[in-house]
Amino acid sequence: MQGYNVKTLTQFLIERQADIPYATGEFTRLLYHVGVAAKLINKKVNKAGLVDILGEAGNVNVQGEDQKKLDLFSNWQLIQALKNSRECCGVASEEDQEIITWDDDLSKDGNYIFCMDPLDGSSNIDVNVSIGTIFSVYRRVSPRGEKATMEDFLQPGNKQVAAGYVIYGSSTMLVYTTGRGVHGFTLDPSIGEFCLSNYSINTPLDGGIYSINEGNYSRFPQGVKDYIDYCKHDDKETHRPYSARYIGSLVSDFHRNLLKGGIFLYPPTASAPKGKLRLIYECNPIAFLAEQAGGRAFDGTQRILDIKPESLHQRVPFYVGSANMVSKVEECIKKYE
Ligand code: P6P
């Protein structure tokens, strides 16, 4: 009788609990609750065309972007899960201007803070293009027993204890790292479990895919234009021209490049000198995952994970992916410094 030989996310978390310094199961419980929220969000995302969950919610978030109903549902679902975990003392979300903390003693005693983009790529929701949740976990720096403070959230990305994303695509996957490699879990709807499907993901040093919104080409710095021209140049020896692949959903573009090799670029322009993507809950978690898989991530001048955040929703230019490709962009940009 051929049985199921699966390892669920929960089993894996318990097995790898020792990965987290002084772990006493707290982190395991936190990530278990994130997994539950991801399953509930997945359920709504999959039915988005059938239930009243599509479209605008009728208000605008702190980014000045129209909030979608699914944005708000995902935000609420994750905040509930984090509160229920009793291991999280505070949350920073793309959807909320201020940090979220709670008054109960158990939450105030929580060891971890959580930063998230609950549903990234929401402009794609209504046209059935894959979207994702991005998250980042830190140990708090403020004293336990009190509410989390802004200082807890303005730690550099190199202090993350974990980072990950959920991609709601042709299948639903949760990919995360605790600093000991990157591991992917695919949701098996028949048993309602995330099952280990990609153990220890390593991204190729070189790739043949570049992901950028070329509609902004005329506005990019010259070094970025030079790199785009380099990608398009016909040179058999270096397997160029590369393929242009851009979904417009960071998690989807990053996930494909992580597995196949490639680079994602969101450069600055004159009208957006810091680019579009947010440091704390988009670039830092993706950068941690990229580096753990053998890739690189920088903002045009420095390593993303070394940036000391100054504000909760600050944006940074973002270049992330296969190490040699990121180094090539760096070479092009530095020519003009
Ligand atoms: P643009 C989605 O809105 C998002 O924040 C990322 O997921 C995505 O990579 C980027 O913006 C796309 O931005 O300006 O190319 O549409």
How would residue 16 be classed by pLDDT, with cut points 50, 70 and 90? Answer: confident
Determine the pLDDT at residue 134: 98
Residue 248 in this model has a pLDDT that exceeds 70: yes
- pLDDT given at position 53: 61
Give yes or no for residue 298 having a pLDDT over 60. yes
pLDDT tens string 18-43: 766 656 688 889 999 999 999 999 99
Q: How far is the CA of 165 from the centre of ligand 1 (A)?
A: 16
Q: How confident is the model at residue 126 (pLDDT cuts 50, 70, 90)?
A: confident
Rounded to the nearest integer, the mean pLDDT of the chain is 92
Q: Categorise residue 242: left if φ over 0, alpha if ψ from -120 to 50, beta otherwise.
A: beta
The percent of residues in the chain predicted with pLDDT above 70, rounded, is 91
Long-range CB pairs of 2-9 (<8 Å, 24+ gap) are 4/191, 6/188, 6/191, 6/193, 6/195, 6/196, 7/195, 7/196, 8/185, 8/193, 8/194, 8/195, 8/196, 9/35, 9/174, 9/185, 9/193, 9/194, 9/195, 9/196
- Kindly report which listed range (20-29, 155-164, 170-179) carries the lowest average pLDDT score: 20-29
Say if ligand 1 is within 6 A of residue 249 CB: yes
Alpha helix (H) residue ranges in the chain: 9-15, 26-46, 69-85, 105-108, 150-153, 222-232, 250-260, 284-292, 323-334
Atom of ligand 1 nearest to the CA of 121: 2
Q: Whose CA is nearest to atom 14 of ligand 1?
A: 213
Q: What is the dihedral of CA 248, 321, 137, 36, to 10 degrees?
A: 50
**Does 209-334 match 9-198 at the fold level?**
no
CATH no., domain 209-334: 3.40.190.80
Strand pairing class (88-93; 112-120): parallel
Average pLDDT of the segment spanning 183-210: 96
- End-to-end alpha-carbon separation of the chain, Å? 65
pLDDT of residue 56: 64
How is residue 2 annotated by DSSP?
Answer: -
Cα of 5 to ligand 1 centre, how many Å? Answer: 38
Q: Give the separation between CA 38 and CA 81, rounded to whole angstroms.
A: 10
| % residues pLDDT > 90 (the chain) | 81
Task: Give me the pLDDT at residue 48, please.
Answer: 63
Domain ranges of the chain: 9-198, 209-334
- In this predicted structure, what is the pLDDT of residue 60? 66
Q: Does the C-beta of 121 come closer than 6 Å to ligand 1?
A: yes
Local confidence band at 139 (pLDDT 50, 70, 90 cut-offs): very high
Q: Per-residue pLDDT averaged across 161-166, rounded?
A: 97
pLDDT of residue 223 exceeding 70, the answer is yes
Dist CA 50 CA 43 (whole Å): 11
CATH superfamily of 9-198: Fructose-1,6-Bisphosphatase, subunit A, domain 1 (3.30.540.10)
Pairing, β 193-198 against β 182-188: antiparallel
Which amino acid residue places its CA nearest to atom 5 of ligand 1? 121
Of 112, 102, 108, give the one whose Cα is nearest residue 152. 112
Q: Output the CA 220–ligand 1 centroid distance in Å.
A: 16
> Residue 5: pLDDT band by 50, 70, 90 thresholds?
confident
- Establish whether residue 65 lines the binding site of ligand 1, counting it when its CB lies within 6 angstroms of any ligand atom: no
- Rounded mean pLDDT of 191-213? 97
Residues 121-144: what's their mean pLDDT?
91
Query: Is the minimum distance from the CB of 293 to ligand 1 under 6 angstroms?
Result: no
pLDDT in tens, 38-90: 999 999 888 765 555 666 666 766 666 666 688 899 999 999 999 999 999 99
